[in-house]
Amino acid sequence: MPGSERERAMRGRMNFRPINSLAFISASYLGRGTVMTEERIAALWERFRGTTTRRVQTLEAWYAGELDHQAALTDAHKLAGVFGTYGRPDGSLAAAQLEQMLRSHLEDAQGDPRGDPNVPQLLDRIRACLA
C-alpha cells in the first residue's frame, strides 16, 4: 500500500520528495525555459522503455538468484530515478525501497533481501510502471 507507515518512514530516511516531473525534465535535459508537452514526455518514455524494461529484468534475474546484489543495486537506483522523472512515483518509491534494502545488505552485511517478504510486492509495483 503506497501510503503505508513503512513507506512514509522510508521517504523520511531517504529524503524522498516527489518532484514535478515536467519541470525536472525541462530544466535538466532540455535547458531552462523549454516547455515539455505530454506528447514529448510520452515520446521520451517510449525511447527509453527498452532500457527501463531491461533494468526491471535485471531485478527479476537477481530475485531468481541469477545475478549478484551489486547489479540489482545499480539498476534499482536507476529505476528509482527514471520512474520519478517520468511521473511514476509509486515505481520510483518501490525501486528506492529495494535499492535501500540492497545497499543495507552490501554495506552492513544484513540478511539477503531476497528473503524479505516485501520484495515480491515491490517487484510487482516496479513491473506495473512499465505499462
Helix (H) or strand (E) holding 127: helix 119-128
26 pLDDT tier (thresholds 50, 70, 90): very low
Q: Which CATH architecture has domain 5-128?
A: Up-down Bundle (1.20)
- Residue 24 in this model has a pLDDT that exceeds 60: no
Please state, in angstroms and rounded to a whole number, the distance separating the CA atoms of residues 105 and 65: 15
- Residue 120 in this model has a pLDDT that exceeds 60: yes
Q: Which residues contact 83 (CB under 8 A, 6 or more apart)?
A: 89, 90, 91, 92, 95, 126, 129
Supply the pLDDT for residue 28: 52
Domain extents in the chain: 5-128
- Residue 12 in this model has a pLDDT that exceeds 80: no
The pLDDT tens digits for 86-115 are 889 999 999 999 999 999 988 887 788 999
The pLDDT tens digits for 58-93 are 999 999 999 999 999 999 999 999 999 888 999 999
Q: Calculate Rg over the CA atoms of the chain.
A: 15
